[in-house]
Amino acid sequence: MQVNAAANTKSTVNDAFASKFAKLMFLSVAGLAILVFIGTRMFTHIDLNLYGYMVGTLTFLGGFFYRFISWGERPPTKIIIKKGLKLLFRKSTAKTAVNHLAIYDFIKKRGFYRWMQHILIGWGCVLACLVTFPLVFSWMYFTMEDNGYYTVVVMGMNLINIKADGIIAWFSYNALNISAIMVITGVCMALYRRMKNMQARAEQKFMYDFLPLYLLLLISVTGLLLTVQNVFLHGWMQPQMSLIHQFSVIVTLIYLPFGKLAHIPFRPMSVLARNYREHYGEQHMKECKVCGEQFVSVEQSTDVINVLGVNSMEFNMEDGFNLAELCLPCRRKYRIARFSGIPTHQVKVKEANQNARG
């Protein structure tokens, strides 16, 4: 009895946290604090002008972890993450990652215009983050001696000396300006499409579709105005514009995990999903119970049926099959048959656009 009592009272590290979310969030913030401690040489080099951005970033991390964990705890997502991670080292992973995360090849199938706007917005935001976050957390900063050379300091160590009026220095000064121009161009293209495309106009909502674009536009425009005020207006009203720019960045960071822009940090999960579909698709494909056409892997079909069972959603039909065992065209026709009483799912005529891409 004493042994059992001792076993029951034995505590673990997990007992110190209210939930898995709290534990992961604590570890992330602690790891970030350690990196800042190292990068700032024990907090001896901190730019207080960037303090607001740091607070906004930490808030973003909390929102992102909350959103990601609540999404990752869903039964379908658990399957994709678990099986996708096991397949992470497939030969095709590198190619898939490039197509999905770098060149957005899957969007090009929908049209060059949409692909270009995503390239401009996506890579503009990535470039801005690669410059901003190291500066905000003091992982990177610049010092200048009297010899006309900048010293790039990374994680407290002198990395390289660059000439103050050289090409590398010019790109360093203007990296955020370049990213702002890219984002402004991409956002304007997106706004034009949403105003002119009839399908987009019918489906869009201001808070979900337009607000994220306006926030990106506000950040980029105010960031460019800071450069204009500094170069052409001798710093006129630059402190006020700096506060407006910082406010727009902080609001966007806080909003990002909970709106449409959340798909940006979630995008890497598409590589896991693609590996999952490709790997099991190469093994054995599922044939539709009505038309016999192969439409999905046996593994995925089984997983779908199991997940529906976990959520007490049974779609076992009187005809002796599960609705998930039908391809999409037959599934639609079967639903029509259930309402009309006519066995339309047995009609062999295919839909005109059932294999449409994009």
* Shared domain check, 241 and 318: no
* Shared domain check, 196 and 300: no
* Shared domain check, 139 and 72: yes
The predicted model gives 164-184 an average pLDDT of 90
In a domain, 17, yes or no: no
In a domain, 279, yes or no: no
- Of the given ranges (63-67, 102-106, 314-318), which has the lowest mean pLDDT? 314-318
In a domain, 232, yes or no: yes
CB of 334 closer than 8 Å to CB of 326: yes
* Shared domain check, 165 and 222: yes
In a domain, 351, yes or no: no
* Shared domain check, 311 and 165: no
Q: What is the structure's pLDDT at 34?
A: 87
In a domain, 352, yes or no: no
Which is it for strands 140-144 and 285-287: parallel, antiparallel or unpaired? unpaired
Q: Pick from 264, 294, 329: which residue ends a domain?
A: 264
* Shared domain check, 186 and 148: yes
Q: When comparing pLDDT for 295 and 347, which is higher?
A: 295
* Shared domain check, 189 and 63: yes
Q: Pick from 234, 264, 294: which residue ends a domain?
A: 264
CB of 225 closer than 8 Å to CB of 244: no
Q: Pick from 233, 264, 295: which residue ends a domain?
A: 264
- The Cα–Cα gap between 24 and 135 comes to 24
First-residue to last-residue Cα distance in the chain: 65
- Of the given ranges (28-37, 176-185, 246-255, 267-276), which has the lowest mean pLDDT? 28-37
* Shared domain check, 249 and 291: no
In a domain, 33, yes or no: no
| C-alpha pair distances (Å), 42 with each of 58, 143, 160, 333 | 19, 18, 22, 66
* Shared domain check, 206 and 64: yes
Q: What is the percent of the chain where pLDDT is above 90?
A: 25
Closest to 125 (Cα-Cα) out of 187, 71, 66: 187
**Angle at Cα 51 formed by Cα 50 and Cα 55, nearest 5°?**
120
Identify the domain containing residue 339 by its residue range: 285-346
The stretches of the chain forming alpha helices (DSSP H) are 2-9, 20-39, 51-72, 75-86, 93-97, 105-108, 112-136, 167-196, 198-203, 211-231, 238-255, 263-266, 269-283, 298-310, 328-340
CATH at 193: 1.20.950
* Shared domain check, 228 and 327: no
What's the whole-number average pLDDT of the chain?
84
Q: What is the structure's pLDDT at 351?
A: 57
pTM over the 0.85 mark: no
* Shared domain check, 336 and 229: no
How many structural domains comprise the chain? 2
**Angle at Cα 23 formed by Cα 19 and Cα 28, nearest 5°?**
145
Would you say residue 1 has pLDDT above 50?
no
Would you say residue 5 has pLDDT above 70?
no
The predicted model gives 232-258 an average pLDDT of 91
In a domain, 23, yes or no: no
* Shared domain check, 309 and 210: no
**Residues 165, 127, 57, 18: is their CA dihedral positive or negative?**
negative
In a domain, 162, yes or no: yes
